[in-house]
Structure 1
């Protein structure tokens, strides 16, 4: 037998090629282990109740049961093994019956031990395909594939867990089939991005801000400076070492949130401010009221189980802000808006612009000096996971916020989009062509009535409000679900009314309060006509052309 020469270079192994299965295929065998970590919380709870001192206020029966279990160490070990084994066994049975496949018409999943389920998501109803990696799955190279479809609650499909390469291959194939790329190529026309996304689409707005009264007062509606050339799709997604049978569509990065800015935004938040001033309030209370130190310790110990959950909830808020905004990057491709973010749980998601129903800009008082904004959206089709996709920009400059709006609504229908949106964000009264709230509304809103107003452009309705916390809503006319006009008895007495734009489920609720009754009625009638006209003329290709992905007639 000939031994290989160590000095002689060996041929490199070909990179694996990941394919989307067309036959019924099970999830990865490691799925029961990755999804069964909750059972260890039971064992941890027993230990917690055992070691916790009596003065923390735990339930006496639970403490006694925990002490009894702890004294019988053998039974604890056997019980833990039994619980873990039972969980793994049930997980194994679930894995055996959980299968999926992809066809030219739909992605299908069937599962269930006692109650069988067979889900079918038609490709023409697919809204988005997200690749999610929780911490444990990320360590070992696995991912969850979530397919969101236009339908009711629990209509989506979640494949937990696949190898990262398999998840990427399925995602690419699903998006390609759903977009009709393969069908277009079969007909002899190219439906993919040929080279780089055109800078002409964004260059029609000034590339640099034009300061008016301060930094960032009148920035460009969108900037081409932050865009970069298209890189390989799989590499840009941070995918596995290998190739997918269907390559990811090319993309261009639009903006990115620096980690320093994200940390500063968390520090400049009201919850963090309350935490920092809490010792001051406690000291003030001790100084004002004659409270002994021993009494403070006793009260703190007796209420530990009240304080600890509150503290954990507060820490959870900070962690969610940090983890959700870590490495936040937005890009555009022919699939839509691609968002990548996450610290322990990474998420690569695709937001179809045509499914964005409403946009909200928000700025707290603590962010005003730096002119930072947060942009959130309502997305149709994410009934089961709306919170995961509601953030379009966790924190950014005004120009970043305007660029985020450009991603969703490239054509605002206004000759000066930069100036119009800037006045919508910071203006008062009738500045920027807004219809202001009547002075009769001071009874209901004495502090911020001057900051309220509405304005409609050819493509969207804008609503602004807020004094300490500024809010501005943008609703594309074609995404208007329904309209409402309400008037309470006091509002009727003052001749004002509240105008509401009903949107899909999500954090954005566009409401214009305390408008003059005549203005509210006129707005209701005009907005109904604009919404009907917008739905008639809007097509997905218009967005692709506006952001420079394709040319007219392509």
Structure 2
């Protein structure tokens, strides 16, 4: 201890900078080569011939592998205090310091090649990030799991009982994790059937019949023509097939610290830990073709996750890929205690808003419960968003030209994830009253916590509801 050092502290050596796994350049190179080959069309193969095509791919492959090796040599990471520092880049060097207070979720991904080689990719999502802030690809599964647990503990400012101390090197074996409490496992059969009940799969036979009829009438059955047709059909089915592969064997659990543990995927397995205090909103969707089965899907809005809610982006926002209403009701109650999906009251816009919504007026609604803002919309595909008041960052009242003519306005509720709820085409006075009420409730929700009921049956009567007519999906 030195004279300038406070009592009770000791000098510690800074953690050394660590590199990714030595096989990382091979996996990165293989992925880049696959993308390049896929970009070259069947028409290119027919024009240059098989030998030249193979030569071009080989030259590109060598260049990609060399570039990946150089990138691996210049990439490293280390945990310093409450920051994760990452350096990377070949042409342009980047040094990033990520404060762990901004950490939202940490996801462990294992693409097919990573599964075959025993590796994993660690992806960090932070507040305000438009994309994944710090993808670490690739580490061993043991090292990635240990680093994830360590970063989550540092971000939460707590240490799990029986877990390794925060100054333990990431490469060492972590302590045996406590048992998780399973919550849900989605049936793979329901998952496949749900993706067959999509417009892409529904109209695929019509497209196949049309293409076959064209071939029969023209009498041309060339290899290039058949290959191009098969490629086009694969593109039509890409979204439902990708959904099945992504959500395969979907499982939910609660870890000993109360966080959501989400695991899913077939060709690319994903394991994500979501602290519930990071959830900004919950969205429910009833697709038209699913309503005959009584199915819906739920998703989470988490600050930092890239991509729009409900989109087909790489962000991990699933809460329930497909399931019945009773299952969704129990999950919503578990994620947002006190919120009963079967008892949400909403009211439609005034009658004059029919000029802007001639067919979907009664499908639009907004309501307030003691816990969340409820907004819904959609005619064929019905949407509902639930936004906890404590997550509200701003409330806006917006009027377009036609809305000004009709005396209407839209209220937007924004969270750290972005726009989370919108009360469309409300009466102008009602819109300003709703915005003021949301501001008050958001301020009060950040105060002392209140005791919430433990089950939907024990919930108190909704005497505080802003509107009383139940009009859910």
Same fold by TM-score greater than 0.5 = yes
User: Do structure 1's residue 392 and structure 2's residue 319 form an aligned pair?
Assistant: yes
Report the equivalent of 2:336.
409
Equivalent residue number for residue 115 of structure 1: 92
1:499 aligns with 2:411: yes
Question: Is 1:488 paired with 2:408?
Answer: no
Distance change (3 Å), C-alpha of 1:525 and 1:90: same
Q: SS of the residue aligned with 1:25?
A: coil
Per-residue deviation at 1:80?
4.6
**Displacement, 1:461?**
0.6
Query: Which residue does the alignment assign to 1:273?
Result: 202
CA contact (8 A) 2:285 2:383 kept: yes
> Are 1:511 and 2:433 matched, yes or no?
no
Aligned partners of 2:252 and 2:196: how far apart in 1? Answer: 23
State the alpha-carbon separation in 2 of the partners of residues 435 and 192 from structure 1.
47
Q: For the Cα contact (< 8 Å) 1:179–1:335, is it kept in 2?
A: no
Deviation at 1:442, TM superposition (A): 2.4
Check the 8 A contact 1:335/1:350 in 2, yes or no: no
Distance 2:410 2:268 in 1: 40
1:355 and 1:381 in contact (8 A); partners too: no
Could you tell me whether the CA contact under 8 Å between 1:173 and 1:246 is conserved in 2? no
Over 3 Å counting, the alpha-carbon distance change for 1:281 and 1:362 in structure 2 is farther
1:337-376 correspondence to structure 2 within 5 Å: 337-376=260-299
Structure 2 segments unaligned to the other structure (5+ residues): 1-13, 164-170, 456-473
**DSSP-derived class of the 1:410 partner:** coil
Contact 1:323 1:343 in 2 (8 A): yes
Q: Please point out which of 239, 260, 269 is paired with 1:317.
A: 239
Moved more, 314-323 or 516-525: 516-525
Q: How far apart in 2 are the matches of 1:303 and 1:496?
A: 55
* Distance (Å, rounded) in 2 between the aligned partners of 1:265 and 1:29: 41
Please say if 1:163 is aligned against 2:140. Answer: yes
Deviations 1:513-547 (A, max 9, x none): 222333222211111111122234469xx99x989
1:23 is matched with which residue?
Answer: 16
**Deviation of residue 344 (structure 1)?**
0.4
Supply the distance in 2 between the matched residues of 1:378 and 1:173 (Cα, whole angstroms): 24
1: CA distance between counterparts of 2:265 and 2:320? 13
| 1-structure distance, mates of 2:286, 2:40 | 44
What whole-Å deviation, never above 9, does each CA across 1:346-398 have from its counterpart, x for those lacking one? 11011222222222111122222221111122210224897422222111111
Q: Distance in 1 between matches of 2:330 and 2:276?
A: 14
Q: CA deviation at 1:109?
A: 1.9
The answer on 1:326 being equivalent to 2:255 is no
State the distance in 1 between where 2:273 and 2:79 align.
19
Task: For residue 104 of structure 1, report the CA deviation from its aligned partner.
Answer: 4.2
| Distance in structure 1 (CA, Å) of the matches to 2:454 and 2:125 | 25
Q: Which residue in the other structure is 1:39 paired with? A: 33
Aligned match of 1:520: 431
How far apart in 1 are the matches of 2:131 and 2:378? Answer: 36
Q: Distance in 1 between matches of 2:258 and 2:287?
A: 33
Displacement of 1:476: 0.6
CA RMSD of aligned residues (A): 3.6
Alignment of 1:41-190 (within 5 A): 41-42=35-36, 48-49=42-43, 51-52=45-46, 63=47, 66-67=48-49, 70=50, 73=51, 80-153=57-130, 156-182=133-159
Q: Give distance in 2, aligned partners of 1:370 and 1:532.
A: 41
Alignment TM-score, normalising by the size of structure 1: 0.68
1:146 counterpart SS class: strand
Ranked by relative contact order (alpha carbons within 8 Å, sequence separation 6 or more), the top structure is: 1
Unaligned runs of 5+ in 1: 1-20, 53-62, 183-190, 195-241, 425-431, 548-554
| Structure possessing the higher radius of gyration over alpha carbons | 1
Specify the alignment match of 1:456 in structure 2.
368
Contact 1:337 1:407 in 2 (8 A): no
Query: Does the CA-based 8 Å contact 2:20-2:137 persist in structure 1?
Result: yes
Distance in structure 1 (CA, Å) of the matches to 2:35 and 2:405: 57
Q: Counterpart in 1 of 2:342?
A: 422
Question: Structure 1 81/449 Cα, relative in aligned 2: closer, same or farther at 3 Å?
Answer: closer
Change (3 A) 1:163 1:468: same
Paired with 2:410 and 2:280, the residues of 1 have a C-alpha distance of 20
Question: Alpha carbons of 1:469 and 1:23: their partners in 2 closer, same or farther (altered >3 Å)?
Answer: same
Q: What is the deviation of 1:123?
A: 2.9
Contact 1:106–1:121 at 8 Å: present in 2 too? yes
Residues 307 and 315, structure 2, Cα contact 8 Å, conserved in 1: no
The answer to whether the 8 A contact 1:357-1:503 is kept is yes
